[in-house]
Structure 1
Amino acid sequence: PVEKKTNTMVCLPSFLHGGTSSLVSTLTTFPIYKIVFRQQLHSTVVSQAIGQLRKEGFLKLYRGVVPPLLMKTLNGTLLFGIHDTFLHCLSITNPCGVIPLSALPAVAGLGTGMVEALVFTPFERVQNVLQNGGNDRSLPTLRSVLARLRAERLGSGYYRAFIPILARNSLGSCIYFGLKDPVSAALREKGLPPMASSFLSGMVISSMAINLPLYPLSVLVVNMQAGVMGEAAGVRGSWKALWEGQLKRSVPLLYRGGFLVILRSCISWGITTALYDRHSAH
């Protein structure tokens, strides 16, 4: 019992530090999130979205921050806490070195991404339905969206697009936790301070290794989850319809709007990584 209590206590700070780091990064990057949202909602360019927010004034800039703040804080809490828990368990159950020590963070990240997908797919589904202007008349409120999704089977309701979300989150977490410490250590060897090396590590990994190659999965998820009418076409059918229809087999169209999403993610994960590593070091 004493050992079990000790093992539990070892992982508790990771939940706390992950949550607080994500909270701060979400508050910092919310204005970028709001610009992206206005672009998605009104199909405007960046300058027009910024003009809308400027006209509304600073006091309304953070209107609507509570839902994404709660979701991102919960996400960071679970992401870092579960990863540290998995990593701790793997280090105990891997005495013979079946998995190389250097690969343990990436393997733990793979499992963390799976748990993350199970927990957050319904949240993402509700958010994408609400952000689709085509649903405004039939589903005007959050309550009506929840009632509609409850009436559907899990595969076409709350867990529509679960497979691409599972692939995106698992691969993303595996890459992030597998590269975070090695990249940060390499930057520190170049003479950068710990906070700066952690910040740049989070930014580089988030942009080049995760968001850029995995962005098509996010586009697929949005298009699969935004609608509520009828059965989902499946991953292959949805991708074929998206690629050949809306995107017209164009890679530039696929990445349209991706610049701000990737920029926001870079800043957010840079801040989150720097704050988390700083807290963990103490």
Structure 2
Amino acid sequence: MMMLHGISTASAVKQLKREGLKNLYRGILPPLCQKTISTSIMFGMFDQYGKLLKYYQPQLSDGATLALAATLAGCTEAILCPFERIQTLLQDKKFHGKYKNSIHTTREMWKFGVKEYYRGMVSILLRNGPSNILFFGLRTEVKTRLPDPGRSWWGHILSDFVSGAFLGAFISTVMYPINVIKAHQQTQVGGPFQTMRQTFWDVYQARGRQFIRLFSGAHVNYTRALVSWGIINASYEILLKLLYS
């Protein structure tokens, strides 16, 4: 809501109160499905692409292999664009009376063709690739700069949580304007597809030509990312040790 309309936290809370609890979790199904699958793709495909690149392109440096594998994993994640598309429509108040739920929204969009599910695809690709490069490139570096947990198992879990939380909050904030552009592109239904440049200019003008207003709601976003990516990173390391020890 704050990302899409650029309103303050207080205004967003007031609007939620007016709309009632029934709309608080509106559109929750798509992100539940998308987040689970995309995280699996992100970690799993990064590992697989890395192995393939090392096998077929052994002359590549470790840094180049990491960057390319992370970018390819991000591009693979982008196939889940329809989930983000449906979520954005359901959470926009102007569509509350038009779309009932995820299934209904999916059926209604089918009238415009398969392409309609992939509005904002370029924005997602430009977000996913650099985000993955930053995450996988800095994950180990951040952890090594934290206090040495020694042999303490809970110390390692805490280190993984902190490193993941820091990176999640940092990356989500850096990429926030791209998400704003993506959200505005995905609230369009039917008609020509707007480019990122055109959408950015429209949003920039609508927000009083103040670039800082493109970060409206970023504090809520990085708080959520702080917790979620801390849990994701720590869980990944635990599962990695359990499955491949």
TM score, norm. by length of structure 1: 0.72
Q: Percent identity?
A: 27
Alignment partner for residue 114 of structure 1, among 75, 92, 99? 75
Tell me what 1:126 maps to: 86
Alignment partner for residue 61 of structure 2, among 100, 105, 109? 100
Q: Which consecutive unaligned segments of at least 5 residues does structure 1 have?
A: 1-36
CA separation of 1:253/1:103 partners in 2, compared to 1, >3 Å: closer, same or farther?
same
Counting only pairs closer than 5 Å after superposition, residues 48-59 of structure 1 correspond to structure 2 as: 49=13
Tell me what 1:82 maps to: 45
Is 1:180 the equivalent of 2:139? yes
CA distance in 1, matches of 2:221, 2:2: 12
Alignment partner for residue 220 of structure 2, among 255, 260, 264? 260
Per-residue deviation, 1:224:
0.8
Alignment partner for residue 171 of structure 1, among 130, 139, 143? 130
Tell me what 2:9 maps to: 45
Q: Which consecutive unaligned segments of at least 5 residues does structure 2 have?
A: none
CA distance in 2, matches of 1:150, 1:44: 34
CA distance in 2, matches of 1:218, 1:194: 32
Deviates more, 1:100-109 or 1:215-224: 100-109
CA distance in 2, matches of 1:62, 1:238: 27
Q: Deviations over 1:52-88 (max 9, x none)?
A: 5xx97xxxx9897655333221222222111111122
Tell me what 1:202 maps to: 164
CA distance in 2, matches of 1:183, 1:138: 46
Is 1:273 the equivalent of 2:236? no
Is the contact between residue 149 and residue 156 of structure 2 (CA under 8 Å) also seen in structure 1?
A: no
CA distance in 2, matches of 1:248, 1:271: 37
CA distance in 2, matches of 1:242, 1:66: 28
CA separation of 1:278/1:142 partners in 2, compared to 1, >3 Å: closer, same or farther?
closer
Alignment partner for residue 184 of structure 2, among 223, 241, 249? 223
Per-residue deviation, 1:222:
0.6
CA distance in 1, matches of 2:221, 2:127: 15
Per-residue deviation, 1:38:
9.4
Is the contact between residue 185 and residue 199 of structure 2 (CA under 8 Å) also seen in structure 1?
A: yes
Is the contact between residue 143 and residue 159 of structure 2 (CA under 8 Å) also seen in structure 1?
A: yes
CA distance in 2, matches of 1:115, 1:194: 30
CA separation of 1:104/1:181 partners in 2, compared to 1, >3 Å: closer, same or farther?
farther
Q: Deviations over 1:172-215 (max 9, x none)?
A: 1121111112222232558793222211211222222x112210
TM score, norm. by length of structure 2: 0.81
CA separation of 1:167/1:62 partners in 2, compared to 1, >3 Å: closer, same or farther?
closer
CA distance in 2, matches of 1:86, 1:135: 39
CA distance in 1, matches of 2:237, 2:103: 39
Per-residue deviation, 1:232:
2.3
CA separation of 1:89/1:73 partners in 2, compared to 1, >3 Å: closer, same or farther?
same
Tell me what 1:30 maps to: none
Structure 1 residue identity aligned to 2:226: C
Structure 1 residue identity aligned to 2:54: S
Structure 2 residue identity aligned to 1:73: T
Per-residue deviation, 1:129:
1.2
Structure 2 residue identity aligned to 1:230: G
**Aligned residues, how many?**
234
**Segments of 4+ in structure 1 off by > 6 A?**
37-41, 61-64
